[in-house]
């Protein structure tokens, strides 16, 4: 699908003249952008297996410590290609963009003590990497200025994980590297709705600059933890299931060349 869209836009670029002298926005364009990205991710843990036999207060503490909200703040750089059609003051368009997202968030709780024989360390991470979006645009032309809204579908490649290391001495003096170590991780291309607003200013018949804001909700995924090698006290099993969402904010400036 993405290859088809790119090929179609490229063919339109060859066949379409640059912005007309009368100020029309009709035509194909391509460009680059850079700016700021912020990704937020909330992890919610649910417990099963041997946890159901533990005191409710302790299970609630584990759930609370394994659940967290993380936010990344970093740069974003990307490229876009699109096509506009102007009728009157209304500009309709379609745009395909690809953006590299910077930044990741890693959290460790440090040692959390529950009793004289039980303590845990909790870790969580989220690392959004790349975003590809296909958007429809609706704008109003005011001479050389174009104000627009956009909406479409976005795909974000991201990595997320949650871990728990526990020591359950049970009076036996077993410490080693932790009585058990568990990790749940997921590398996935997630998809969801993207919406945005922008303002574009024509500098000449060939070049324009833009500023835009986009927001995308990539939904929630579910994954489970698993015991790592050399874990002790794995039977009976403790199970943890993670539900983790992802939302991305983008603020960027860009320049476009009109074919």
pLDDT value at 195 more than 90:
yes
Per-residue model confidence (pLDDT) at position 178: 57
Looking at the DSSP bridge assignments, the partners of residue 86 are: 91
Tens-place pLDDT, residues 205-226: 999 999 999 999 999 999 999 9
Apex 232 CA angle, 227 and 235, nearest 5: 75
Residue 115 CB neighbours (<10 A)? 10
Asked if residue 117 lies in contact with residue 79, where contact means CB atoms within 8 angstroms, the answer is no
Task: State which residues form the domain around 158.
Answer: 2-16+23-258
Q: Which residue has the higher pLDDT, 176 or 26?
A: 26
Per-residue model confidence (pLDDT) at position 176: 46
Q: Which residue has the higher pLDDT, 16 or 35?
A: 35
- pTM value is 0.82
pLDDT value at 60 more than 80:
yes
Per-residue model confidence (pLDDT) at position 42: 94
pLDDT value at 161 more than 50:
yes
Give the mean pLDDT of 50-79: 91
Per-residue model confidence (pLDDT) at position 191: 94
| Mean pLDDT, all residues of the chain | 87
Which band of pLDDT confidence, cut at 50, 70 and 90, is reported for residue 3?
Answer: very low
What percent of the chain shows pLDDT beyond 70? 87
Alpha helices in the chain (DSSP H): 2-15, 56-66
pLDDT value at 177 more than 50:
no
Domains in the chain: how many in total?
1
Closest to 37 in 3D by CA, of 116, 133, 110, 108: 133
Tens-place pLDDT, residues 105-126: 999 998 888 777 778 889 999 9
Which band of pLDDT confidence, cut at 50, 70 and 90, is reported for residue 169?
Answer: low
Q: Give the integer Cα–Cα distance in Å for 36 and 213.
A: 10
């Amino acid at each position: 699908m993405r290859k088809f869209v790119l090929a179609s836009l490229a063919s339109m670029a060859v066949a379409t003249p640059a912005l007309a002298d009368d100020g029309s926005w009709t035509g194909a364009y391509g460009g680059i952008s850079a700016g700021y990205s912020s990704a937020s991710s909330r992890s919610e843990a649910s417990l099963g297996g041997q946890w159901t036999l533990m005191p409710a207060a302790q299970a609630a503490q584990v759930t609370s410590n394994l659940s967290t909200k993380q936010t990344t703040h970093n740069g974003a750089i990307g490229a876009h290609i699109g096509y506009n059609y102007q009728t009157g003051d209304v500009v309709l368009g379609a745009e395909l963009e690809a953006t590299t997202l910077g930044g990741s968030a890693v959290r460790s709780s440090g040692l959390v003590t529950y009793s004289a024989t039980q303590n845990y360390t909790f870790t969580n991470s989220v690392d959004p990497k790349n975003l590809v979006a296909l958007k429809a645009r609706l704008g109003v032309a005011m001479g050389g200025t174009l104000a627009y809204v956009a909406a479409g579908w976005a795909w974000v490649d991201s990595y997320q994980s949650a871990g728990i290391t526990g020591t359950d001495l049970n009076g036996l003096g077993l410490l080693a590297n932790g009585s058990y170590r568990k990790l749940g991780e997921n590398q996935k291309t997630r998809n969801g709705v993207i919406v945005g607003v922008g303002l574009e200013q024509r500098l000449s018949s060939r070049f324009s600059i833009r500023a835009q804001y986009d927001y995308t909700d990539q939904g929630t995924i579910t994954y489970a933890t698993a015991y790592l090698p050399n874990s002790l006290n794995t039977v009976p099993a403790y199970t943890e299931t993670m539900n983790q969402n992802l939302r991305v904010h983008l603020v960027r400036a860009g320049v476009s060349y009109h074919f």
